[in-house]
Amino acid sequence: MATTFDICTIDDIPANRARGFTIELNDETFDFFIVRKDDSIYGYINSCPHTGVNLEWMPDKFLDLSGSVIQCSTHGAQFRIENGFCIYGPCLGRYLERVELEVRDNNIKLIL
Ligand code: FES
């Protein structure tokens, strides 16, 4: 059975930016991030498919300087925001692992 977690409101994520989150689940830490692009949101586990490290170089810094792609800070892999597909770097052709999100009444919920 799926479990739902209240994460934040849409307004907590600035337009065309990202924000990282950590929740504790059964004594394990679950790191993920949410990107808000235009009117849509996208969520991924915070783990680069190249080596498994977290992607951001500073808190909430998951995007490149232009804000158009997700970028891993370790070796520079770039991923499409819309589907997590790697378009550049050592994990070319692989995907970030998506997390299921639901938006209701301006609130973002994580579904596990
Ligand atoms: S760890 Fe992300 S590109 Fe190498």
- The 10 Å Cβ neighbour count of residue 70 is 26
Q: Tokens standing for 6? A: 């209240």
pLDDT digits (tens, 9 = 90+) for 85-111: 999 999 999 999 999 999 999 999 999
Measured CA to CA, the distance from residue 72 to residue 48 in angstroms comes to 7
Closest ligand 1 atom to residue 51 Cα is 1
CA 2 – ligand 1 centroid, Å: 31
Reported pTM: 0.95
Residue of 18, 28, 21, 9 lying closest to 84 (CA atoms): 18
Q: What are phi and psi of 10, to 5 degrees?
A: -60, -35
Place of tokens 């995007």: 63
Cα of 106 vs centre of ligand 1, distance in Å, is 33
Tell me the domains of the chain and their CATH numbers: 4-111 (2.102.10.10)
CA angle 38, 41, 44 (to 5 degrees): 135
- CA angle, corner 12, sides to 86 and 41, nearest 5? 35
| Average per-residue pLDDT for the chain | 96
